[in-house]
Chains A and B, each alone.
Chain A
Amino acid sequence: MEIDTGMEQEINKAAIAFSLTSALWFALATSMGMVAAGYLIAPDFMANIGWLQFGRIRPIHVNLVLFGFVTPGLLAAAFYYVPKLGRTQLFSQKLGVYNAILWNITIAIGVVTLSAGYTQGREYAELIWPVDMLIVINFALVIVNLVMTVRSRKEPILYVSIWYALAAVVLTATTYCLGNVIWKPSSGALVGIQDAILLWFYGHNIFGLLLTPLSLGVAYYVIPKVTRNPLYSHSLSLVGFWGLLVVYTHIGTHHLLQVPVPTWLKVISIVDSVAMVIPVMVFLINIWYTVKGKVGEIHADVAGKFVFAGTIFYFFVNIQGSMMALPQVQRVTHFNNWVVGHAHLGVLAFAGMTALGGMYYVLPKISGKPLYSHFLADLQYWLVLIGSGGFTVVLTIVGLIQGNAWLNGETVYRVLPAIQIYYVLRVAIGFLILSGAYIGLYNIVRTIFFNPGAKA
């Protein structure tokens, strides 16, 4: 890579629109998370407000984080680096902006339908059929824009970030249709245990084929840029890319190890969950060797800090994930808050921080204006870092208490008083993440609008 043509990039309205989308829904998603966490310490909090009750807020929180915050944030960066790496312009800014508008309308409809109780009742596949269709259309528009950009490129060599961006949107558009059983609009589900098998194949691939490849694409772009080091190895990036696609797609059934599904399917999911160490370590070796000797540059750049922290959390979440797929470990960790901690480590600490880093990296370039406040971005970095790290520690402790107590023969009810204090801590730490999200929203809005700064 490192092809700086000096070609002036136009103001990238598509990337700006996706950045604003991400920042806005990050704030709302964490607000929903706070409400949900509030119910766990005070269940009569906002009692009997149907559309705000826990069982409806939780899927709103999850869907907003996945499709409102992290995905658009990572796409904002992709809308910048794909044309940049191809030494060309984005195929259509107009299409990108309309895409972002439609994206927001889709998410808003999703929120309203979920809070009104319209749901497919399947984790990560809650959104009802019309919203599913809108999501698929959104991804199709992204595919058109990115593929046409790649086709019009002037640089023949495709850099690894582009592989990940293209694969992520194409594969997610496909698995989204599959996982939501899009050919059965009435239920959006299969019947019986087969439904669980399909659901977790899909559910895990939201992480494995959407958030992870998009995040890796950002890391592969931002880390060499910030350190001004060439990528350590192009061969490793090839192994990592194909390895990730082969291995990650097999492992969804590790959510069903304690359920009556065929044993051979469980074995595949366990073996491949452990094998995830290979593509993950290949990526991390590649990225961390690229950083070698330049940690100072990372430290000096808030975007680099976010993305680099993301890669460290990627290490932890994957080692943890491989471990959790082992049946003996899962006897303790399944069904409790350990898994919730794992999800926050992956989606917020790894993919979320990477998305924020990607946005902070591209914001000055896509808007032609300097970041409104480096201090606020740095503050947000520490809030989200401490918040997501602390969150994971607290939830892991809760999970260990629950899991071991249950294995020891305690009932769910008997363990509740023991974990209440940790639910309080979770809310307290959640305030850090919440503040970080609103500070980020303010900073990003001020960078794009009402920005008094000179051109960077």
Chain B
Amino acid sequence: MSQEMTPKAIIFGSLLILAAVTFVVVLWPYTHRHTAPSEIYRQRTALEESGRKIYLANGCVYCHSQSIRTIDWGHGAERIAQAGDYISDEPVALGSARTGVDLSQEGGEHPDDWHIAHFINPRYTRPNSIMPPFEWLGMENIKSLTAYIQSLGMKGADKRMQRQRHWKEQVATAYEAGPAHNIRWLAEHVPEGWRNIPNPYPTTPAGLARGHKIYQDFCLGCHSPIGDGMGPAQPWIYPPPLNFTILKGREISGGIIYYQIMNGITGSAMPYFKKELESEKIWDVGNYVAEYFINQSDANTEPKGIDASYEP
């Protein structure tokens, strides 16, 4: 049987198979490539395009996917990837790993200054991050990279960026009007119902320990280990992170703290944490801040409803 195998049979036979398969699984899909642009599609600007080059040159694609799947409900499946999102990507940067987060809808999730602090050193804004620092790129490159990241999500990102810019102006104005005005302004932008709610759970050593852990994992890069807002990210962020130690006697309820952690303060570098922290963790870290940094907590005061079953 093996006599039938001649060099010609091997070389031309295998090339023939390859040609046939290539026709079916590469060429056929390629000839049907005329994908319509999706509803969020837009072209990138020159600055965003140069940022994309930096993204590719430095292998960001090895850790960050750009494709949200139907099963990504915990990652923010607000928008599932469509073929029409990628029609000007050459090469396409779908990515094959999520060592870091998916970035396909990252644009406008944070304001620019958050990204710059994060590129200088990712642990400045995300203490547990394992992304390497990119300070060595230089500020000009970091800015075009930021422009590219802020374009991810295209028209959807543009809408979110518009919101960031609108509120950035407002939070900056409030900050510049001095601490008293700033704190009042921040509290006023929490819905009234939340403002009147004290922290319903009592202060316990276990609760404070949980709060301490959450604070270390999420907060101290900006607000610093002693809550004075002078964390390592502070020089890059404007308006700067809030100094909790000035909040005493300024009617900051547990509900206000909870709402600000949950929802973030769009425009400022304060992100929303509702995707990452469950309810108990937000109450606990809020009470940790109240007890240790504000030195004034309304935990377990009226009105508090029926005690939860675990309460001592």
Contacts and interface: CB of A to CB of B under 8 A. Distances in A.
The yes or no verdict on A and B being binding partners is yes
Chain A interface residue bracket vs B: 35 or more
Interface string A407-431: 1111111101100000100000000
A406 interface: yes
A94 interface: no
B21 interface: yes
Contacts of A117: 57-58
A84 interface: no
The 5 closest A-B pairs by CB, nearest first: A55-B59, A409-B74, A121-B56, A189-B91, A48-B136
By secondary structure, the A interface counts as: helix
Nearest to B29: A197
B128 to A, nearest CB: 5
Given A39-B132, A47-B133, A163 B82 contact: no
Interface stretch (A23-31, A246-254, A279-287, A444-452): A246-254
Contacts of B89: 191-192, 195
B80 to A, nearest CB: 8
A260 B72 CA distance: 15
A323 interface: no
B18 A174 contact: yes
A259 B67 contact: yes
B92 A195 contact: yes
Chain B interface residue bracket vs A: 35 or more
A197 to B, nearest CB: 5
A151 interface: yes
A8 to B, nearest CB: 25
B97 A48 contact: no
A365 interface: no
A339 B65 CA distance: 14
B73 interface: yes
Contact of A191 (B87, B95, B134, B137): B87
A331 B24 CA distance: 26
Given A44-B133, A167-B14, 4 more contacts: A119-B59, A171-B18, A189-B91, A336-B98
Contacts of A194: 29-30, 33
Given A192-B35, A194-B30, A119 B132 contact: no
B3 interface: yes
B81 interface: yes
Interface string A174-198: 1100100000000111111111111
A130 B126 CA distance: 40
Interface stretch (A10-18, A154-162, A302-310, A376-384): A154-162
A50 B57 CA distance: 11
Nearest to B75: A411
Nearest to A1: B2
A192 B86 contact: yes
B4 to A, nearest CB: 8
A238 B29 contact: no
A123 to B, nearest CB: 6
Interface of A: 39-41, 43-44, 47-50, 53-56, 58-59, 117-123, 147, 150-151, 156-160, 162-163, 166-167, 170-171, 174-175, 178, 187-199, 201, 209, 234-235, 237-238, 242, 245-246, 249-250, 252-253, 255-256, 258-262, 265, 268-269, 331, 335-337, 339-340, 402, 406-414, 416-417, 423
Contacts of A414: 276
A399 to B, nearest CB: 10
Contacts of A190: 30, 90-91
B131 to A, nearest CB: 6
B308 interface: no
A258 B217 contact: no
22 contacts: A39-B132, A43-B123, A53-B58, A54-B59, A54-B62, A55-B63, A58-B59, A59-B62, A119-B56, A191-B92, A193-B86, A195-B89, A197-B25, A238-B1, A238-B5, A242-B13, A245-B18, A246-B17, A258-B69, A259-B67, A340-B97, A410-B74
Nearest to B121: A44
B132 A47 contact: yes
A414 B278 CA distance: 11
A269 B25 CA distance: 9
Most chain A CB within 10 A, of B3, B62, B82, B130, is at B130
By secondary structure, the B interface counts as: loop
Nearest to B31: A194
A152 B118 CA distance: 63
Contacts of B70: 258
A412 B96 contact: no
A360 to B, nearest CB: 27
A381 B148 CA distance: 47
Nearest to B65: A335
B262 interface: no
A122 B26 contact: no
Given A48-B135, A190-B90, A413-B128, A198 B96 contact: no
B129 to A, nearest CB: 7
Contact of A40 (B121, B130, B276): B130
B44 to A, nearest CB: 13
Contact of A192 (B56, B87, B97): B87
B132 A163 contact: no
Contact of B26 (A120, A121, A197, A413): A197
A246 B11 CA distance: 14
Given A151-B7, A192-B35, A245-B18, A259 B81 contact: yes
B61 interface: yes
Nearest to B58: A55
Contacts of B88: 191-192
Contacts of A265: 25, 29
B6 interface: yes
B59 A406 contact: no
B47 interface: no
Contacts of B46: none
Given A44-B132, A265-B29, A335-B96, A178 B22 contact: yes
Contact of B136 (A49, A162, A339): A49
Contacts of A188: 91
A196 B92 contact: yes
A158 B11 CA distance: 13
A317 to B, nearest CB: 17
B5 A163 contact: yes
